[in-house]
Amino acid sequence: MQTLTVSLADRSYSIHIGSGLLARAESYAPFIAGKTVAIVTNETIAPLYLPQVKAAVLSLGKSIIEIILPDGEEHKTFTSLDKIHTAMLAAACDRKTTIIALGGGVIGDVAGFAAATYQRGVPFIQVPTTLLSQVDSSVGGKTAINHPLGKNMIGAFYQPLAVISDTDTLKTLPPREYASGLAEVVKHALIFDVDHFAELEANVDALNARDASVLTRVIAHSCKIKADVVKQDERETKDIRALLNLGHTFGHAIETEMGYGAWFHGEAVAAGTVLAAQFSRDEWGGADIDLPSIERLLTSLNLPTKAPKVAAQKLLAHMQRDKKNEDGVVTLILLKRIGEAYVDRRVPGAKLLAFLERAVA
């Protein structure tokens, strides 16, 4: 097992990464103070892993409430949030009730937002079961639900007590979902670590084969990158954390326009990352960007590198509602070169629209 710390003063917590963690009572014992635990999961994950988590928690003498949501990004909504709140209220859960978020990024985001808002805040533990959630969404305290007009528009910053990442859960991921997580790994390397990008290039076959030792190392490295960023800029007020949104301004627009769930989040991020790199290189002076290497790595990891053929004006409209925007100007995360990203708020809307029209033609 590898353990990392997200250092945030009294909100600091550990990330535990390894095999067989999910079924161990000691994984949860230090973080459950109350008598009741609400396990939030979905219809896909529940048959696979809920019995193991339940057995571990019950062995600690705790009572359990099961809250099972539908699976999919399209269910990251007020309806799912209300289902969690209603179940907890019906069971008379108090402020010592611990929520365990057992699942991928959708479950982590919705359950985390429920934890942030139920009786103004209850403790929660992230137990991510997808690669994307293990390397990215479970770390950093961003919780949210989607709105028909935009992704992650309603939420809160709320840190977990711990993140327990059992790498055994990655064995059951469907290929598209597994590849989706690799997009966030590549994103971290593109923003901060050119050497890690080269390591990913050298380990494509091992990553595609889901080699346990390589995965543990890669997950830990991605978590360390994100933990260091969150430590410096927990609430995204200094532009440091905003860098983690490379590919997301374009990617969220793709997800919203295509309909939540049509494209996996990581797929949209991969295509959005290529768009950001293309714009950086061809429109904004990023002459040092090795775009072919970026496209080659993403392709080798079974990820898309082209945006869907949709109306450029619609993509721009979604981008204009992005949370990072200021004073009506789209905020973009762009690249200077592999391993170095920056925030830019100077791009004219007309220039961005012309680029999108060429990109989706």
Catalytic residue numbers read 120, 142, 184, 226, 236, 241, 245, 248, 252, 265
Residues whose CB is less than 8 angstroms from the CB of residue 221 and which lie 6 or more positions away in sequence, other chains included: 188, 193, 196
C-beta of residue 262 within 8 angstroms of C-beta of residue 229: no
d(CA 158, CA 261): 25
Q: Which stretches of the chain are assigned E, i.e. beta strand?
A: 2-6, 13-18, 36-42, 63-69, 98-103, 124-128, 142-147, 150-157, 162-166, 332-337, 340-344
d(CA 281, CA 268): 20
Please name the residue that has the structure tokens 């390591």: 199
Eight-class DSSP state of 263: B
